[in-house]
Structure 1
C-alpha cells in the first residue's frame, strides 16, 4: 500500500475544479449534464477549467445518455475541437447492440486523440463480457485506465469482481468509481487498487451544489492512511 493513490473528482465548472484541487484531487473528470450521467462539456467550460487549475483533466467524449455511440461523425468532431482547445486526456466508451465494445466508434474517436491518454469508462460494467472488451481494446493507443464499479449496480455489488481484477497484472490502471464509499477504501487499497473516482461524494449538498473542498480532503486523508 505504499503507492500514493490517485484521487479523481468530477468537475462541472471552474468553481468545482478549484475546490477539488484545494481538497487534494490529483485529476479531474470534466463533464456536463449529470442527469444524463455525464456528457461532453462545452469547449469554453474546458478552457475555463484549464485556466483555473494546473492538475490533469480528463474530458468526457459522450453525447447522449447510455453507452451507444450515436452520431460517430459528431463524436469525432467533438474530439477534434477539444484537442484543438488543448485537451490532452479523455474519457470515452461505447458498446454495440451485443454488449461488446463498439470498436468502430472507439477507434475513430481514438484516432483523433493522436496518442493522448484516455479512460474507458463504466461502459465496461454494462458489457456482456468484461474480459472480451479488454481484449478488444488491448492494442488501442493511449488507453491507460478503466473506470469501473465492477458491476452495473455499483461498487457494493461489484466488489468481488474488483478484488479479482486488482490482483491481475495489467497495462491499464483500475480506477474504481460508481457508488464508491469511504468504507470501501481499506479493502480496495489492501487488494492493490491505486485509483479512486468520486462525484456525488464530493458534493454533500447534492449535484445542485458545488464540490466541497472539505469533502474531497476527507477522501484524500483516508486514501493516504497507512
Structure 2
C-alpha cells in the first residue's frame, strides 16, 4: 500500500502552517466548526494558499446540517474561490428526507467549481440509510474522488465494521477518507483492513477547538500512519 494520505482541518494560517510542518498531506479549510464546518472567507483561503504548499480542500457549506440552503450564495462563493485559485473542494447535500443525495444541488455547485476541480463528498454519507444507493447516484460525477466518512453518524467507534467492509469495494471507486471521532487507537485495524486516507481536526489540537493545530501532534499521527502495518 502506498503512503497513507493524512488530511488535517485548518481554520486559518496558523493551523495550516503547523499541519504542513507536522507532515500533513492536505488541508480541509473551513470556518465555523461549531456548526460542523462552513465555507471560509476568500481572504482566509488566499492567506492560507500563500502560506503553504500542500493541497487545500475548501468547504462549501452555508450552515449546520446537510440540506442545500443558500445555494445561490454558495455558488457565488465557489466561483470567487475558483478565481482566487482554489481547485479542490468539500461539499455534499442530502434531499429533504435524507434518503439520498440532493443531486440538483450537487450538480449546481459542480457547475460553479468546474469539471477540472477535485472534490470530497463529506459526512452527509453517514446520515443516509443506504450508503451504496448514494454512491451509485453520485457515480460518474466529475471530479469526485473521495468520501469523508466515519462509517456511521455516531463516529468511527460505531462505523468500524462498515469502513472495513467498504475498503474492499472495486477499484476505481472514490477513496474513503476516514474521519469523524477518529482516534489513534483505531489506526491499526483500519490500516490492516486496507484503508489508506485519514482526516482529523480536534485530535491534533491539545487545547481543543479553542486552540491551534499543534505540529508535534500532527507529526505523532504521521509517524503512526507511516509505521509498518503489523500482521494480525
Into which bin does the TM-score normalised by the smaller protein fall? over 0.9
TM-fit CA distance, 1:39: 0.2
TM-fit CA distance, 1:98: 2.1
- Quick check: 1:112 aligned with 2:112? yes
Q: Residue by residue, what CA displacement relative to the aligned partner does 1:81-135 show, whole Å, maximum 9, x if unpaired? A: 1101110100001001121100000000011121200000000000121111101
Partner of 1:137: 138
Task: Measure the CA separation in 1 of the matches of 2:51 and 2:191.
Answer: 31
TM-score (normalizing by structure 1):
0.98
Partner of 1:63: 62
**DSSP 3-state at the match of 2:50:** helix
Task: Measure the CA separation in 2 of the matches of 1:23 and 1:184.
Answer: 20
Task: Measure the CA separation in 2 of the matches of 1:204 and 1:96.
Answer: 36
Q: Is the 8 A contact 1:154 1:178 kept in 2?
A: yes
- Between 45-54 and 73-82, report the one with greater CA deviation: 73-82
Structure 2 residues not aligned, in runs of 5+? none
For these two proteins, the number of residue pairs brought into alignment is 225
- Between 182-191 and 165-174, report the one with greater CA deviation: 165-174
**DSSP 3-state at the match of 1:67:** coil
**DSSP 3-state at the match of 1:144:** strand
Structure 1 residues not aligned, in runs of 5+? none
- Between 44-53 and 94-103, report the one with greater CA deviation: 94-103
Partner of 1:160: 161
Partner of 1:31: 30
Partner of 1:20: 19
TM-score (normalizing by structure 2):
0.96
- Quick check: 1:224 aligned with 2:226? yes
**DSSP 3-state at the match of 2:210:** coil
- Between 141-150 and 74-83, report the one with greater CA deviation: 74-83
Aligned mate of 2:210, from 191, 194, 208: 208
**DSSP 3-state at the match of 2:79:** helix
**DSSP 3-state at the match of 1:211:** coil
RMSD: 0.7
- Quick check: 1:91 aligned with 2:90? yes
